[in-house]
């Protein structure tokens, strides 16, 4: 199955209330309203895109060690995935797909990092739950997501729903702002130019990892010359 097929299958189970989801049916119109409004806001079109310069950043890994984008880009092209958190099953499916594709990325000399606003213990949980071999970095207050124009504030009615479902983002993230990044994936070249960008205001839609391979092939050829 493709990544999107897996996401669609999970979404169908979620909406049908089938185990392990068991979601009450009244939540779906609220979630769908928030997604429609985020799409209509045009924020995804304002996010950084291919051809833009990526901002430099340094973020901690789950053990508190600083990881610098500049240091990574000095070694290879960089794949960056912004995701919402370990509590998001769609994000976990995407992380698993990136892990499965990791050998192919490495053939083109690329490294991978994933960024979320969650605290270090939750990043460690992401690594364990998804058997990841690439770093998960903690973006406190969604600061780096904001630099990529990905940070989005949840509307009040969605905050209320999350609280009712005990999806306590302030605890997950160590931040009371109730903001999340729009899921996004980037390929960044050594000179910090963004070669590939996919931003998803509908968090149930994610690009296939293989979509990046043509860009990585071109980046490797440029790196080797």
Does residue 155 contact residue 35 with C-beta atoms inside 8 Å? no
In tens, the pLDDT along 140-175 reads 999 999 999 999 999 999 999 999 999 999 999 999
Q: Which residues lie across from 66 on neighbouring strands?
A: 60
**Is 91 annotated in the active site?**
yes
Domains and CATH numbers, the chain: 3-224 (3.40.30.10)
Confirm if 207 and 185 have CB atoms less than 8 A apart.
yes
In this prediction, residue 222 has a pLDDT band, given cuts at 50, 70 and 90, of confident
In tens, the pLDDT along 173-216 reads 999 999 999 999 999 999 999 999 999 999 999 999 999 999 99
Identify the band that residue 24 occupies on the pLDDT scale cut at 50, 70 and 90.
confident
Question: Is the pLDDT higher at 196 or at 224?
Answer: 196
Q: Determine if residue 192 is left, alpha or beta; phi over 0 gives left, psi from -120 to 50 gives alpha, anything else beta.
A: left
Selected catalytic residue, list 34, 48, 86, 91? 91
Q: Give me the torsion for CA of 75, 79, 82, 87, rounded to 10°.
A: -100
Q: Check residues 91 and 22 and name the one with the higher pLDDT.
A: 91
Per the CB < 8 A criterion, the answer to whether 166 and 98 are in contact is no
What does DSSP say about strands 136-138 and 111-116: parallel, antiparallel, or unpaired? parallel
How far apart (Å, rounded) are the C-alpha atoms in residues 17 and 85? 22
């Amino acid at each position: 199955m493709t990544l999107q097929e897996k996401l669609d299958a999970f979404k169908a189970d979620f909406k049908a209330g089938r185990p392990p989801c068991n979601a009450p049916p009244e939540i779906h119109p609220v979630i769908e309203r928030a997604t429609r409004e985020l799409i209509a806001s045009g924020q995804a079109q304002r996010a950084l895109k291919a051809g833009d310069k990526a901002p430099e950043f340094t973020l901690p890994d789950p053990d508190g060690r600083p990881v610098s984008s500049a240091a990574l880009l000095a070694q290879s092209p960089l794949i960056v995935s912004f995701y919402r958190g370990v509590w998001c099953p769609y994000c976990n499916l995407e992380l698993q797909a990136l892990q499965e594709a990791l050998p192919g990325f490495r053939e083109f000399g690329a490294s991978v990092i994933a960024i979320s606003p969650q605290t270090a213990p939750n990043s460690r949980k992401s690594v364990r739950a998804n058997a990841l071999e690439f770093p998960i970095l903690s973006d406190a207050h969604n600061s780096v997501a904001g630099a990529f124009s990905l940070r989005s504030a949840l509307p009040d009615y969605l905050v209320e729903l999350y609280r009712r479902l005990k999806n306590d983002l302030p605890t997950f993230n160590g931040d009371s702002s109730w903001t999340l990044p729009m899921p996004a994936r980037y390929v960044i070249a050594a000179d910090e130019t963004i070669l590939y960008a996919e931003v998803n205001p509908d968090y149930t839609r994610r690009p296939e990892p293989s979509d990046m391979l043509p860009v990585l092939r071109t980046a490797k050829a440029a790196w080797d010359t």
